[in-house]
């Protein structure tokens, strides 16, 4: 995958109504995006796949929908007011603000690109005899650049882990990093920058400063006892939630990978203290299963275990996907101990305990959380599915090989022509199938063009109504991936589509 592929995802997302820049007619708003007609359908399907896999498939997980606004003390208790920061640096000449660590990462990427260029040159030179692994371990230019990458990475990690802002500034200067826009090296010191957005809420005693939630998790923690009591939940049990979160990220050029307004799908699993490692291992494996169930090549996923842990965690792992710009986090699984509930207990003065009837004891449960970004998952699917296929004879097609159940439309009904009663028959089929599936109907343009458009938005099955359909009550169905076509009875359509593309079949494989 490459920069080229990333650009293709961006242009395809816009051209086919998946993702638009927010307020585009006003030149857009940095790192904020809108989902178009096909994007929202794909996003809803991803959310549904997640929600059903959590809430519907587990007898001990329930869902909630907490408000975005929360009492300001929530964020004091959770540690976000004091510690939810990124290191930022300003360029004194251009007045532009950057994340200090990202500037260094982008510098590292230049060496990575040099390595890849050298490898590509080698491939071209040696053709079929090229042994990539040997080349990477012996070529002096590759070796020199790889050493540089390792050295800078290790200094960056150390400075970040220690929260040493002076070291970050020193590294930027040592590497001679210039402002990507102006070329100036005239930098301010590195400072911590809180990522929460705040606004004012009127109250009887004046205005209160409140925050837009930077994660959905706290809405679950503060409702732990409400749900446990009203749902008569017994440990272990989970609370799931999807919803918007807001972070004032200092970013550029990352599309929906890192946004200021994004959506999370989080589940907090409350367990007996002492059993958290067992559950951490369980959810680490379960969540990877959920990803792989989508048919994505195994090698594109990997775990990244956290070595240095946040003060409240006793284990943490990321599930990373190989995006066009490298392996990056899609989801985090964290064993958060009793940190959050204990903090809320302390700050609210209300007990948040569980009475364990077997132990005849009250205690604060421990929590294992799974947290995935919906927009990032959307980007996983776009990155993995967008393909350009050479069909021979100078013909090609662009297609989105999305998991069939998640595609914006499960099928398209395409009468060959509007005339001769074909449109009426097509609409009759549409009106029947639409009760179970998201269907597309179109009776304009050549059938070839219509097939290409459906390929480009990922529709797994096209149903063509022709003149023979009128006499025989049958239609041609065409499969997106193989382009195979076959004749089937109209009465069989519902069963065939359900077997090929339904969410139920996708969930069954997780069961």
> What is the binding site for ligand GAP (CB under 6 A)?
215, 217, 247, 249, 258-259, 262, 264, 266, 329-332, 369, 371-373, 375-376
What is the Cα–Cα distance from 255 to 123, expressed in whole angstroms?
31
Q: How far is the CB of 257 from ligand GAP (least distance, A)?
A: 6
Between 247 and 478, whose beta carbon lies closer to ligand GAP? Answer: 247
What is the Cα–Cα distance from 459 to 480, expressed in whole angstroms?
7
Between 45 and 371, whose beta carbon lies closer to ligand GAP? Answer: 371
Contact 266, 215 (CB under 8 A): yes
Nearby residues of 23 by Cβ (< 8 Å), 6 or more positions away: 29, 32
Q: How far is the CB of 478 from ligand GAP (least distance, A)?
A: 35
Cα distances from 181 to residues 6, 29, 114, in angstroms, run 21, 18, 21
Q: How far is the CB of 330 from ligand GAP (least distance, A)?
A: 5
Q: How far is the CB of 210 from ligand GAP (least distance, A)?
A: 19
Contact 220, 130 (CB under 8 A): no
Cα distances from 24 to residues 27, 30, 33, 406, 491, in angstroms, run 5, 10, 9, 27, 45
Between 167 and 215, whose beta carbon lies closer to ligand GAP? Answer: 215
Between 97 and 125, whose beta carbon lies closer to ligand GAP? Answer: 97
What is the Cα–Cα distance from 439 to 441, expressed in whole angstroms?
7
Q: At what angle do helices 140-162 and 165-174 cross, to 10 degrees?
A: 160
What is the Cα–Cα distance from 18 to 71, expressed in whole angstroms?
35
SS3 assignment, position 435: coil
Task: Determine which helix (DSSP H) or strand (DSSP E) holds 117, and give its type and residue range.
Answer: helix 100-126
- Residue in the block written with tokens 């799931």: 240
Between 69 and 479, whose beta carbon lies closer to ligand GAP? Answer: 69
Between 88 and 497, whose beta carbon lies closer to ligand GAP? Answer: 88
Between 343 and 371, whose beta carbon lies closer to ligand GAP? Answer: 371
Total Cβ atoms within 10 A of residue 491:
10
**What phi and psi values does residue 498 have, to the nearest 5 degrees?**
-60, -40
- Go through 41-76 and write b for each residue having 16 or more CB atoms within 10 A of its CB, e for each that does not: bbbebbbbbbbebbbeeeeebbbeebeeebeeebbe
When CB distances to ligand GAP are compared, the closest residue is: 373
Contact 245, 281 (CB under 8 A): no
Between 32 and 507, whose beta carbon lies closer to ligand GAP? Answer: 32
Q: How far is the CB of 377 from ligand GAP (least distance, A)?
A: 7
Q: How far is the CB of 23 from ligand GAP (least distance, A)?
A: 18
Contact 288, 301 (CB under 8 A): yes
Q: How far is the CB of 219 from ligand GAP (least distance, A)?
A: 11
List the structure tokens of 55: 């809430």
Q: How far is the CB of 176 from ligand GAP (least distance, A)?
A: 29
Residue whose C-alpha is closest to residue 248's, from 80, 66, 376, 372? 80
Q: How far is the CB of 244 from ligand GAP (least distance, A)?
A: 11
Between 167 and 331, whose beta carbon lies closer to ligand GAP? Answer: 331
List, in sequence order, every residue forming a beta bridge with 208; answer none if it has no partner. Answer: 201
Q: How far is the CB of 463 from ligand GAP (least distance, A)?
A: 36
Between 245 and 490, whose beta carbon lies closer to ligand GAP? Answer: 245
């Amino acid at each position: 995958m490459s920069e080229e592929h990333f650009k293709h995802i961006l242009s395809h997302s816009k051209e086919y109504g998946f993702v638009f820049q927010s307020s585009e007619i006003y030149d857009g708003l940095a790192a904020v995006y809108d989902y178009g007609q096909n994007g929202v359908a794909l996003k809803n399907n991803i959310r549904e796949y997640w929600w059903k896999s959590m809430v519907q498939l587990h007898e001990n997980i329930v869902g909630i929908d907490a408000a975005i606004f929360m009492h300001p003390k929530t964020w004091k208790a959770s540690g976000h007011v004091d510690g939810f920061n990124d290191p930022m640096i300003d360029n004194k000449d251009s007045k532009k603000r950057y994340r200090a660590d990202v500037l260094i990462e982008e510098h590292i990427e230049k060496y990575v690109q040099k390595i890849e260029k050298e490898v590509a040159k080698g491939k071209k030179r040696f053709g079929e005899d090229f042994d990539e692994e040997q080349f990477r371990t012996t070529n002096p230019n590759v070796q020199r650049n790889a050493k540089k990458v390792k050295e800078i990475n290790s200094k960056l990690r150390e400075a970040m882990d220690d929260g040493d802002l002076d070291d970050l500034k020193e590294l930027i200067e040592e590497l001679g990093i210039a402002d990507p826009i102006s070329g100036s090296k005239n930098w301010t010191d590195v400072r911590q920058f809180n990522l929460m957005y705040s606004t004012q809420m009127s109250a009887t005693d004046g205005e209160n400063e409140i925050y837009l939630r930077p994660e959905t998790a706290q809405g679950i923690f503060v409702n732990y006892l409400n749900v446990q009591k009203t749902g008569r939940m017994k440990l272990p049990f989970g609370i799931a939630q999807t919803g918007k979160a807001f972070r004032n990220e200092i970013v550029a050029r990352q599309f929906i990978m890192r946004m200021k307004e994004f959506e999370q799908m989080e589940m907090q699993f409350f367990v007996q203290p002492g059993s958290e490692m067992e559950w951490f291992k369980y959810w680490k494996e379960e969540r990877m299963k959920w990803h792989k169930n989508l048919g994505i090549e195994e090698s594109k996923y990997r775990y990244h275990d956290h070595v240095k842990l946040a003060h409240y965690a006793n284990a943490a792992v990321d599930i990373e996907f190989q995006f066009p710009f490298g392996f990056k986090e899609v989801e985090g699984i964290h064993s958060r101990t009793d940190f959050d509930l204990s903090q809320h207990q302390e700050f609210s003065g209300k007990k948040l305990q569980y009475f364990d009837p077997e132990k005849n004891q009250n205690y604060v449960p421990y929590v294992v959380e799974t947290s995935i970004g919906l927009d990032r998952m959307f980007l996983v699917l776009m990155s993995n599915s967008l393909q350009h296929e050479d069909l021979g004879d100078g013909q090609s097609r662009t297609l989105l090989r999305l998991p069939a159940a998640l595609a914006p439309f499960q099928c398209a009904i395409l009468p060959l022509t509007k005339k001769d009663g074909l449109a009426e028959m097509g609409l009759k089929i549409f009106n029947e199938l639409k009760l179970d599936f998201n269907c597309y109907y179109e009776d304009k343009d050549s059938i070839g063009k219509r097939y290409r458009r459906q390929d480009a938005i990922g529709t797994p099955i096209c149903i063509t109504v022709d003149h023979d359909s009128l006499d025989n009550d049958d239609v041609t169905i065409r499969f997106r991936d193989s382009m195979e076509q076959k004749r089937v009875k109209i009465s069989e359509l519902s069963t065939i589509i359900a077997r090929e593309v339904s969410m139920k079949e996708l969930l069954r494989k997780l069961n």
